[in-house]
């Protein structure tokens, strides 16, 4: 038998020991991949920027302090600087909207029928604008503003619609005969856009009072629907087309005395059209409103819907920040932020950080520093200035033309009471015409008459409308009915000459309590009186239509054959009267009686 080698025995034993003492280890597990939870996206911010009632005030307006310091307020090139900062603050999230009345109000706008306004708005990149009542003022293209037989009453507006690279919207305009949408508008009054992936519907509205707040003959072929029903139909259509957010641009507004608390509307005219609009619809029908027409400040929630409006005239804007859920694309209402009535300033007072004249005029001194907004300097847009320069140059000589007349002290207007300006102009009109009575609507006086040598631009800013001078022959009984219609409206306190009237403090039907001739003698019911007024009133504007339309034929002469319009007739009359200082008469022709009943917020007045 063969013996085993001791060496082999040792090797085998070593191997056996080795297997027992080194167990087989499993391979290490793969590294665990720790995944971070996905970040929850924040809400999408949409910034609604609202302007309203530009009325052709494209250029900055100079304000002078008693100390000699002067500065500028407003202007479209400065607005462009603010809009640039807003877009830098919220890239791709800004909607620039206007509440209407782009035109009618300055020589530069009126001589060009609003063309440079549209040029500037194109440059600013407006998303859309509402159509305002004064968009119809120019009538046919050319110098005639009141439509004559054979002329197109919408000629000037059609030219601006073709020029604009943004839509002008009013979903409540129809042809009177057919109830169809006027094809020349080019849209159904709505617009659907996408902002940050959110589908935003925009609908426009114009005040149903348009036939009484522009030249009635220019819109005689149109019908203007009620606000709330039209808005509901338009919003429903937009939602059906995919709109996730709906914004209204309405040339219809209200006015509020206090914008410090957006949830407190107690200082607002609760009977204003914007309240009528929002209270006539189910809550949540629309998500925001940019309003206009009343030139009244507003920055409030009405039934949960944010609304902004400013005094207009190119000096202000407001914003609404809407925050939208990134998944559902629903507006997160509780996060909405309103910034109302922001002044447009290239320079501001160092202490108050504003250029607003109404706030700075009574300060002992003003120190100007460059304006900033959203942490960035405000830089006016040189291209907008360049676009507007031809319009400025065209009217500069005419604006500065001296009339050989002097105004020793500013002559001011007042919308809700007798005013020095209204009495002075009414007296001048009655004297120039040799009439018994003169009647003026306060909405037709658009600025105060400044002190100093009177320029054509100065008088034009007060009377920008190219009204003819109309005469109406009224019996004493007809005059009584006309005065009741004028003072019973919500169109302010009509200015007059040749009468003394007594009014109740609160506006509304029955406000007129007494009236006599200026001498104190009673108005004779059967006698005919010659009453002179702007043709806007004689054609039925500001609520006088029902009375004037009932007169026998031949009682109204619209003054088309006169040599001068209203503005130029006054200048000619003052010059013929010797060219002396222009001084208003003593007050006292309009008095108020107070029965102790407080006026309600609904008694606040509408603007022209």
32 belongs to a structural domain:
no
pLDDT the model gives residue 150: 86
Q: Tell the residue number behind the tokens 């119809």, with chain if given.
A: 136
pLDDT the model gives residue 3: 47
CATH number at residue 135: 3.60.21.10
Q: Residue 212 in contact with residue 541, Cβ under 8 Å? A: yes
Q: What is the mean pLDDT of residues 464-471?
A: 93
528-540 in b/e burial notation, b at 16+ Cβ within 10 A? ebbbbbbbbbbbb
Asked if residue 231 and residue 138 are part of one domain, the reply reads: yes
Q: How far apart are CA 134 and CA 136, in angstroms?
A: 5
Least confident of 23-27, 68-72, 259-263: 23-27
Asked if residue 362 and residue 412 are part of one domain, the reply reads: no
Contact partners, residue 54, CB within 8 Å, separation at least 6: 98, 101, 102, 103, 105, 117, 312, 313, 314
pLDDT (tens digit, 9 = 90+) per residue, 15-49? 343 333 444 556 666 666 656 656 668 999 999 99
545 alpha carbon, distance to own chain's centre = 26
pLDDT the model gives residue 145: 80
Q: What is the mean pLDDT of residues 294-303?
A: 96
Asked if residue 418 and residue 339 are part of one domain, the reply reads: no
pLDDT the model gives residue 409: 94
pLDDT (tens digit, 9 = 90+) per residue, 303-325? 999 999 999 999 999 999 999 99
Residue 196 has pLDDT above 90, yes or no: yes
Asked if residue 385 and residue 495 are part of one domain, the reply reads: no
Asked if residue 221 and residue 125 are part of one domain, the reply reads: yes
pLDDT the model gives residue 389: 96
Residue 561 phi/psi, 5-degree rounding, is -90, 0
pLDDT the model gives residue 578: 82
502 belongs to a structural domain:
yes
Q: Tell the residue number behind the tokens 């407190």, with chain if given.
A: 264
302 belongs to a structural domain:
yes
Least confident of 53-57, 232-236, 288-292, 359-363: 359-363
Residue 597 has pLDDT above 90, yes or no: no
Asked if residue 342 and residue 482 are part of one domain, the reply reads: no
25 belongs to a structural domain:
no
Asked if residue 266 and residue 134 are part of one domain, the reply reads: yes
Q: How far apart are CA 288 and CA 210, in angstroms?
A: 23
Whole-number percent of the chain with pLDDT over 70 = 91
pLDDT the model gives residue 508: 87
Q: How far apart are CA 47 and CA 200, in angstroms?
A: 12
Q: What is the mean pLDDT of residues 545-552?
A: 94
- The two tokens of residue 467 are 């009204």
Going from the C-alpha of 371 to that of each of 82, 91, 347, the distances in angstroms are 10, 22, 5
Q: What is the mean pLDDT of residues 254-272?
A: 95
Asked if residue 520 and residue 469 are part of one domain, the reply reads: yes
Q: How far apart are CA 420 and CA 407, in angstroms?
A: 13
pLDDT the model gives residue 153: 95
Q: What is the mean pLDDT of residues 85-114?
A: 96
86: number of Cβ within 10 Å = 19
Asked if residue 328 and residue 426 are part of one domain, the reply reads: no
pLDDT (tens digit, 9 = 90+) per residue, 371-393? 999 999 999 999 999 999 999 99
Asked if residue 415 and residue 320 are part of one domain, the reply reads: no
22 belongs to a structural domain:
no
- Give me the helix-helix angle, 155-163 and 115-124, nearest 10°: 20
pLDDT the model gives residue 36: 65
pLDDT the model gives residue 577: 85
pLDDT the model gives residue 336: 98
Q: What is the mean pLDDT of residues 261-285?
A: 96
Q: Is 545 exposed, middle or buried (0-12, 13-18, 19+ CB in 10 A)?
A: middle
496 belongs to a structural domain:
yes
Asked if residue 585 and residue 489 are part of one domain, the reply reads: yes
Q: How confident is the model at residue 507 (pLDDT cuts 50, 70, 90)?
A: confident
In the chain, DSSP finds a helix count (H) and a strand count (E) of: 16, 30
Range of the domain at 472: 402-603
Going from the C-alpha of 150 to that of each of 19, 182, 221, the distances in angstroms are 116, 18, 14
In the chain, how many domains are there? 2
Full 3-state SS string of 500-526 = EEEEECCCCCCCEEEEEECCCCCCCCC
Q: What is the mean pLDDT of residues 437-466?
A: 94
Q: Which residues on adjacent β-strands are paired with residue 193?
A: 200
Q: H-type helices in 349-506, by residue range?
A: 357-360, 382-399, 420-433, 456-462, 476-487
CATH number at residue 532: 3.90.780.10
Q: Among the three residues 368, 391, 414, which one is the final residue of a domain in this structure?
A: 391
Q: Among the three residues 364, 391, 418, which one is the final residue of a domain in this structure?
A: 391
188: number of Cβ within 10 Å = 14
Asked if residue 561 and residue 469 are part of one domain, the reply reads: yes
33 belongs to a structural domain:
no
pLDDT (tens digit, 9 = 90+) per residue, 412-430? 999 999 999 999 999 999 9
Q: How far apart are CA 361 and CA 371, in angstroms?
A: 18
pLDDT the model gives residue 579: 79
- The two tokens of residue 96 are 């620039």
Residue 360 has pLDDT above 80, yes or no: yes
18 belongs to a structural domain:
no
Mean pLDDT of the chain: 92
Q: Among the three residues 370, 391, 412, which one is the final residue of a domain in this structure?
A: 391
Rg (CA), the chain: 33
- 3-state DSSP call for residue 29? coil
Contact partners, residue 152, CB within 8 Å, separation at least 6: 140, 141, 158
């Amino acid at each position: 038998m063969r013996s085993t080698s001791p060496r082999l025995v040792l090797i085998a034993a070593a191997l056996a020991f080795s297997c027992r003492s080194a167990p087989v280890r499993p391979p290490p597990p793969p590294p665990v991949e720790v995944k971070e939870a996905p970040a929850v996206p924040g809400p999408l911010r949409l910034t609604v920027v609202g302007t309203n009632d530009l009325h052709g005030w494209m250029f900055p307006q100079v304000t002078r302090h008693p100390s000699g310091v002067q500065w500028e307020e407003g202007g479209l090139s400065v607005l462009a600087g603010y809009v640039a900062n807003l877009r830098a603050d919220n890239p791709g999230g800004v909607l620039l909207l206007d509440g209407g009345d782009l035109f009618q109000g300055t020589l530069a706008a009126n001589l060009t029928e609003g063309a440079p306004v549209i040029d500037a708005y194109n440059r600013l990149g407006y998303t859309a604008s509402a159509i305002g009542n004064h968009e119809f003022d120019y009538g046919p293209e050319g110098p005639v503003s009141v439509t004559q037989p054979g002329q197109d009453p919408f000629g000037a507006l059609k030219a601006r619609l073709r020029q604009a690279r943004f839509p002008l919207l009013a979903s409540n305009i129809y042809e009177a005969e057919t109830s169809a949408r006027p094809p020349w508008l080019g849209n159904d009054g709505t617009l659907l856009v996408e902002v940050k992936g959110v589908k935003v519907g925009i609908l426009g509205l114009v005040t149903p009072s348009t036939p009484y707040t522009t030249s009635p003959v220019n819109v005689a072929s149109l019908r203007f629907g009620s606000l709330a029903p039209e808005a509901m139909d338009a919003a429903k259509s937009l939602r059906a087309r995919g709109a996730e957010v709906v914004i209204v641009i309405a040339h219809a507004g209200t006015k509020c005395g206090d914008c410090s608390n957006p949830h407190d509307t107690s200082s607002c005219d609760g009977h204003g059209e914007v309240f009528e609009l929002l209270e006539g619809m189910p809550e949540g029908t629309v998500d925001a409103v940019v309003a206009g027409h009343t030139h009244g400040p507003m920055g409030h929630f009405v039934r949960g819907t944010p609304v902004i409006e400013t005094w207009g005239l190119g000096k202000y804007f407001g914003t609404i920040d809407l925050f939208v859920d990134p998944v559902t694309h629903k507006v997160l209402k509780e996060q909405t932020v309103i910034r109302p009535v922001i002044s447009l300033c290239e320079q501001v007072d160092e202490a108050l950080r504003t250029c607003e004249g109404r706030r700075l005029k009574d300060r002992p001194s003003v120190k100007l520093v460059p304006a900033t907004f959203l942490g960035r300097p405000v830089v006016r847009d040189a291209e907008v200035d360049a676009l507007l320069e031809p319009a400025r140059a065209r009217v500069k000589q005419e604006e500065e033309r001296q009339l050989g007349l002097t105004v020793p002290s500013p002559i001011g207007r007042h919308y809700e009471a007798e005013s020095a300006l209204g009495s002075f102009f009414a007296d001048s009109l009655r004297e120039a015409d040799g009439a018994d009575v003169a009647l003026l609507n306060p909405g037709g006086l658009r600025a105060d008459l400044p002190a100093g040598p009177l320029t054509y631009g100065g008088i034009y800013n007060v009377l920008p409308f190219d009204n003819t001078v109309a005469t109406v022959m009224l019996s004493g009984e007809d005059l009584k009915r006309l005065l009741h219609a004028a003072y019973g409206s919500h169109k302010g306190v009509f200015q007059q000459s040749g009468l003394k009237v007594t009014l109740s403090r609160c506006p509304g039907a029955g406000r007129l309590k007494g009236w006599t001739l200026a001498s104190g003698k009673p108005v004779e019911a059967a006698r005919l009186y010659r009453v002179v007024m702007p043709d806007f009133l004689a054609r039925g504007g500001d609520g006088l239509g029902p009375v004037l339309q009932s007169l026998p034929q031949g009682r109204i002469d619209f003054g088309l054959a006169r040599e001068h319009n209203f503005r130029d007739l006054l200048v000619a009359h003052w010059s013929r009267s010797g060219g002396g200082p222009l001084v208003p008469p003593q007050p006292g022709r309009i008095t108020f009686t107070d029965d102790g009943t407080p006026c309600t917020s609904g008694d606040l007045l509408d603007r022209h």
